[in-house]
């Protein structure tokens, strides 16, 4: 079995950079886990500790029921796909895929069988005798995946494998990766900074910030009930709107800045006098001024995306920036005022200080 158990994992680089701190996660056999977070938050470091390319400073790492903290990468039953492909430039595609198997001492017939299988899966038959430099970026990354597949590892590790490809190819390879995961049934740990990639690929997402785990959950959980303001801001595009203010004594309104306040149909789930950040996703604001609250938006500019229109502006009377995503093609002029509404269920309340979710 290839579940992955990470307990209290930490990494301090020589020189004192604490890149990862106290990461704990249980990854089930066959799960597609995506590690996501802004650049520099320690995703690659975690992946490289799982791979054995970086020593583990604190904590335990188990693959199956074997503690692998001190095993060499080659002995951990993992395979890794790198952002820059890391193919051996002087070897043909076939040699690239064979290399690890040869070092493992597998018999020729077994090697050939595995390569045949992998090339069929990845449609690489025509390229077996080419060198990496004769391939496009997408093909190179497929070869890198092939090199991982032939090893038949328990755990596949991916470090931003699609980042160097153009948008169209990225979408295509994303679908292929998903299909590959289904077919192989192996455990995938995938690192990306792109939340769209994370949402579309993951069974579960681990979202990281500054070396720590912010939240672990199903993609939809992260979207619908982000545990912290950081998660709320990171997941979803355009990003969630935030209005900061103080809850009034009757808990039915939020004092935004001095004069202006927002009124709600139901009491807010927060203590009177509490300073909070109220989060609303742009797609949850409607032009119907009904529901739990109504607010006015002063339009700054309009983004036409075709299927949708994103209206950017400010909350009237306050200075909070606000964006709304409306269906279809919508007209609107800068300077005009739009009245918007939102359902109570779609409000996210976060403590202004700690960023923790309140409702």
Partner 1 sequence: MVENRPLLTFLTHFALIMGVVFLCFPVWMALVASTHGPDALARSPIPMWFGDQGWQNYSQLLAAGLPEAGGVPLGRMMWNSLIMALGITFGKIAVSILAAYAVVYFRFPFRMGFFWMIFITLMLPVEVRILPTFDVVTKLGLLNTYTVLIIPLIASATATLLFRQFFLTIPDELVEAARIDRAGPMRFFWDILMPLSRTNIAALFIILFIYGWNQYLWPFLVTSDESLYTVVMGIQRMVNSGEALPVWHLIMGTAILAMVPPVLVVIAMQKLFVKGLVESEK
Residue 319 interacting entry, from Mg ion, ligand ADP, partner 1, none, C-beta within 5 to 8 Å by type = none
Please tell me whether residue 301 binds partner 1 under the rule CB under 8 A: no
Instruction: Specify the stretch interacting with Mg ion by CB under 5 A; choose among 40-48, 68-76, 161-169, 308-316.
Output: 40-48
Of the candidates 67, 90, 120, 275, which one interacts with partner 1 according to CB under 8 A?
Answer: 90
Closest distance to partner 1 from the beta carbon of 346 (Å): 43
Of the candidates 6, 20, 47, 80, which one interacts with partner 1 according to CB under 8 A?
Answer: 80
Of the candidates 22, 40, 272, 353, which one interacts with ligand ADP according to CB under 6 A?
Answer: 40
Residue 57 and residue 11 in contact, taking contact as beta carbons nearer than 8 Å: yes
Please tell me whether residue 13 binds partner 1 under the rule CB under 8 A: no
Cβ nearer to ligand ADP, comparing 23 with 135: 23
Please tell me whether residue 306 binds ligand ADP under the rule CB under 6 A: no
Closest distance to ligand ADP from the beta carbon of 118 (Å): 27
Nearest-angstrom CA–CA distance, 222 and 72: 35
Please tell me whether residue 192 binds ligand ADP under the rule CB under 6 A: no
Which of 51, 65, 58, 63 has its CA nearest to residue 4? Answer: 63
Site for ligand ADP in 240-279 (CB under 6 A): none
Instruction: Specify the stretch interacting with Mg ion by CB under 5 A; choose among 38-46, 56-64, 216-224, 262-270.
Output: 38-46
Instruction: Specify the stretch interacting with partner 1 by CB under 8 A; choose among 98-106, 110-118, 188-196, 350-358.
Output: 98-106
Instruction: Specify the stretch interacting with ligand ADP by CB under 6 A; choose among 39-47, 80-88, 94-102, 181-189.
Output: 39-47
Please tell me whether residue 44 binds Mg ion under the rule CB under 5 A: yes
Please tell me whether residue 301 binds ligand ADP under the rule CB under 6 A: no
Cβ nearer to Mg ion, comparing 35 with 79: 35
Residue 323 and residue 312 in contact, taking contact as beta carbons nearer than 8 Å: yes
Instruction: Specify the stretch interacting with partner 1 by CB under 8 A; choose among 67-75, 118-126, 224-232, 345-353.
Output: 67-75
Which of 275, 277, 294 has its CA nearest to residue 285? Answer: 294
- Three-state SS for the chain is CCCEEEEEEEEECCCCCEEEEEEEEEECCCCEEEEECCCCCCHHHHHHHHHCCCCCCEEEEEECCEECCCCCHHHCCEEEECCCCCCCCCCCHHHHHHHHHHHHCCCHHHHHHHHHHHHHHHCCHHHCCCCHHHCCHHHHHHHHHHHHHHCCCCEEEEECCCCCCCHHHHHHHHHHHHHHHHHHCCEEEEEECCHHHHHHHCCEEEEEECCEEEEEECHHHHHHCCCEHHHHHHCCCCCCEEEEEEECCCCCEEEEECCEEEEECCCCCCCCCCEEEEEECHHHCECCCCECEEEEEEEEEEEECCCEEEEEEEECCCCCEEEEEEECCCCCCCCCEEEEEECHHHCEEEECCCCEECC
Cβ nearer to ligand ADP, comparing 18 with 304: 18
Please tell me whether residue 88 binds partner 1 under the rule CB under 8 A: yes
Of the candidates 79, 201, 293, 295, which one interacts with partner 1 according to CB under 8 A?
Answer: 79
Site for ligand ADP in 195-224 (CB under 6 A): none
* Block residue for tokens 């395979």: 79
Site for partner 1 in 22-51 (CB under 8 A): 48, 51
Instruction: Specify the stretch interacting with partner 1 by CB under 8 A; choose among 85-93, 166-174, 272-280, 296-304.
Output: 85-93
Residues binding ligand ADP (CB under 6 A): 13, 15, 17, 19, 37, 39-45
Binding site for Mg ion (CB under 5 A): 44
């Amino acid at each position: 079995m290839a579940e992955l158990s990470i307990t209290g994992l930490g990494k301090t680089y020589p020189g004192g950079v604490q890149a990862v701190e106290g990461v704990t996660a249980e990854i089930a056999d066959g799960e597609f886990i995506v590690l996501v977070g802004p650049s520099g938050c320690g995703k690659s470091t975690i992946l490289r500790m799982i791979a054995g390319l970086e020593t583990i400073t604190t904590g335990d790492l188990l693959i199956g029921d074997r503690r692998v903290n001190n095993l060499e990468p080659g002995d951990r039953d993992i395979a890794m796909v790198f952002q820059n492909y890391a193919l051996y430039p002087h070897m043909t595609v076939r040699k690239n895929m064979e290399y690890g198997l040869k070092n493992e001492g597998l018999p020729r017939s077994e090697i050939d069988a595995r390569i045949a299988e992998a090339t069929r899966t990845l449609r690489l038959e025509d390229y077996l005798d080419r060198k990496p430099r004769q391939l496009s970026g997408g093909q190179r990354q497929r070869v890198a995946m092939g090199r991982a597949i032939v090893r038949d590892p328990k755990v596949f590790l991916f470090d931003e494998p699609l980042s160097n490809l153009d948008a169209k190819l990225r979408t295509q390879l994303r679908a292929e990766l998903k299909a590959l995961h289904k077919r192989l049934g192996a455990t995938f740990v995938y690192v990306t900074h792109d939340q769209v990639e994370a949402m579309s690929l993951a069974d579960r997402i681990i979202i990281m910030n500054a070396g720590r785990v912010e939240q672990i959950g199903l993609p939809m959980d992260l979207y619908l009930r982000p545990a912290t303001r950081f998660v709320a801001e990171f997941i979803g595009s355009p990003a969630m709107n935030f209005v900061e203010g103080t809850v009034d004594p009757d808990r039915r309104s939020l004092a935004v800045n001095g004069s202006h306040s927002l009124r709600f149909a139901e009491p807010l789930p927060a203590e009177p006098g509490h300073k909070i950040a109220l989060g609303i996703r742009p797609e949850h604001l409607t032009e119907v001024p009904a529901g739990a609250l109504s607010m006015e938006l002063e339009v700054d500019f309009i983004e036409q995306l075709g299927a949708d229109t994103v209206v950017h502006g400010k909350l009237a009377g306050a200075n909070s920036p606000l964006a709304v995503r409306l269906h279809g093609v919508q007209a609107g002029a800068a300077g005009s005022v739009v009245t918007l509404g939102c359902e109570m269920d779609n409000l996210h309340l976060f403590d202004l200080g700690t960023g923790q979710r309140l409702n």
